[in-house]
Amino acid sequence: MSTWTPPACSTANCRRCWPRNPRLLPCSCTTWPSYCGSCWGTSHSHCTPGTSRSACLDPTSDSTCVLVQGVSLRSLYQCFSDHVTFPTDPVRDLLIWAIIQNRRELAEIIWAQSQDCIAAALACSKILKELSREEEDTDSSEDMLALADEYEQRAIGVFTECYRKDEERAQKLLIRVSEAWGRTTCLQLALEAKDMKFVSHGGVQAFLTKVWWGQLCVDNGLWRVFLCMLLFPLLATSLVSFREKRLQAACGLARVRAFFNAPVVIFHLNTLSYSSFLCLFAYVLMVDFQPSPSWCECLIYLWLFSLACEELRQLLYDPDGCGLVKMALLYFSDFWNKLDITAILLFIAGLTCRLMPSLLYAGRVILSLDFIIFCLRLMHIFTISKTLGPKIIILKRMMKDVFFFLFLLAVWVVSFGVAKQAILIHNESRVDWIFRGVVYQSYLTIFGQIPAYIDGVDFSLDRCSPNGTDPYKPKCPESDATRHQPIFPEWLTVTLLCLYLLFTNILLLNLLIAMFNYTFQQVQEHTDQIWKFQRHGLIEEYQGRPPAPPPFILLSHLHLFIKRAVLKIPARRHKQLKNKLEKNEEAVLLSWEMYLKESYLQSQQEQQRQRPEQKMQDISHRVDTMVNLLEMGRLKQSGSMEQRLSSLEEQVAQTARALYWIVKTLRDGGLGSGEDAPTLAPQKASERQDLELDGRQEAEDLSHAPHVNARHLFYPNSPVLRFPVPDEKVPWETEFLIYDPPFYTAERKDQASVDPVAKNPKGRTGLCGCGSLSCFGPNHTLQPVVTRWKRNQDGAICRKSIKKVLEVLLVKQPLSEHWALPGGSQESGEMLPRKLKQILRREFWPSFENLLRQGTEVYKGYVDDLQNTDDAWIETVAISVHFPDQSDELKRLNSHLHTCDPRMAIRWQVVDRRIPLSTTHKTILEKAAALYGAYY
Q: Helix (H, G, I), strand (E, B), or coil: what is residue 493?
A: helix
Predicted pLDDT of residue 282? 94
Whether omega for the bond prior to residue 551 falls within 30 degrees of 0, making it cis, is yes
Predicted pLDDT of residue 297? 92
Residue from 129, 173, 177 nearest 151 by CA: 129
Angstrom CA distances, 842 to 322, 810, 830, stand at 74, 19, 13
Predicted structure pTM score: 0.56
Residues 6+ away with beta carbon under 8 Å from 383: 389, 392, 534, 535, 537, 538
Q: Helix (H, G, I), strand (E, B), or coil: what is residue 824?
A: strand
Residue from 563, 419, 429 nearest 493 by CA: 419
Residue from 336, 437, 393, 17 nearest 196 by CA: 393
- DSSP for residue 74: G
Q: What values do phi and psi take at 42, rounded to 5?
A: -110, 20
C-alpha–C-alpha distance, residues 118 and 133, integer Å: 23
C-alpha–C-alpha distance, residues 271 and 85, integer Å: 41
Predicted pLDDT of residue 656? 83
The count of C-alpha atoms lying within 13 angstroms of the C-alpha of 547, restricted to the half-sphere facing its C-beta, is 10
> What is the DSSP pairing of strand 872-883 with strand 856-863?
antiparallel
Predicted pLDDT of residue 751? 58
Predicted pLDDT of residue 460? 67
Q: Helix (H, G, I), strand (E, B), or coil: what is residue 439?
A: helix
> Taking a C-beta distance cutoff of 8 angstroms, is the pair 366, 376 a contact?
no
Predicted pLDDT of residue 11? 37
Predicted pLDDT of residue 440? 87
**How many helices and strands in the chain, by DSSP H and E?**
31, 16
Query: Mean pLDDT per segment of 10 residues, for the chain of length 936 residues?
Result: 37 35 38 35 36 37 36 38 59 92 91 91 94 88 92 94 92 90 90 91 92 88 85 82 79 82 91 93 92 91 93 82 82 88 94 91 93 90 79 83 87 89 83 86 84 68 76 78 68 86 88 89 80 86 88 88 81 72 90 92 85 83 85 73 77 83 78 57 46 46 70 86 89 88 80 68 91 88 91 83 87 80 80 83 85 89 89 91 85 81 84 82 88 87
> Taking a C-beta distance cutoff of 8 angstroms, is the pair 300, 284 a contact?
yes
Q: Which parts of 446-486 are beta strand (E)?
A: 479-480, 485-486
C-alpha–C-alpha distance, residues 88 and 670, integer Å: 107
Predicted pLDDT of residue 118? 94
The count of C-alpha atoms lying within 13 angstroms of the C-alpha of 274, restricted to the half-sphere facing its C-beta, is 18
Distance of CA 152 to the CA centre of its chain: 16
- DSSP for residue 506: I
**Per-state percent for the chain, helix, strand, coil, to nearest 5:** 55, 10, 35
Strand partners, 856: 880
Question: Angle CA(369)–CA(375)–CA(381) in degrees, nearest 5?
Answer: 155
Residues 6+ away with beta carbon under 8 Å from 612: none
Strand partners, 824: 782
> Taking a C-beta distance cutoff of 8 angstroms, is the pair 281, 371 a contact?
yes
The alpha carbon torsion through 215, 217, 220, 225 (nearest 10 deg) reads 0
Residue from 711, 708, 846 nearest 765 by CA: 711
Helix or strand run (H / E) with residue 723: none
Question: Angle CA(876)–CA(935)–CA(808) in degrees, nearest 5?
Answer: 45
**How many residues belong to the chain?**
936
Residue from 539, 526, 576 nearest 196 by CA: 526
> Taking a C-beta distance cutoff of 8 angstroms, is the pair 816, 795 a contact?
no
C-alpha–C-alpha distance, residues 931 and 880, integer Å: 9
Predicted pLDDT of residue 99? 92
Q: Which amino acid is at 281?
A: F
C-alpha–C-alpha distance, residues 80 and 77, integer Å: 7
> Taking a C-beta distance cutoff of 8 angstroms, is the pair 876, 861 a contact?
yes
> Taking a C-beta distance cutoff of 8 angstroms, is the pair 535, 287 a contact?
no
Predicted pLDDT of residue 84? 46
> Taking a C-beta distance cutoff of 8 angstroms, is the pair 580, 589 a contact?
no
For the chain, the distance separating the N- and C-terminal CA atoms, rounded to the nearest angstrom, is 72
C-alpha–C-alpha distance, residues 305 and 299, integer Å: 10
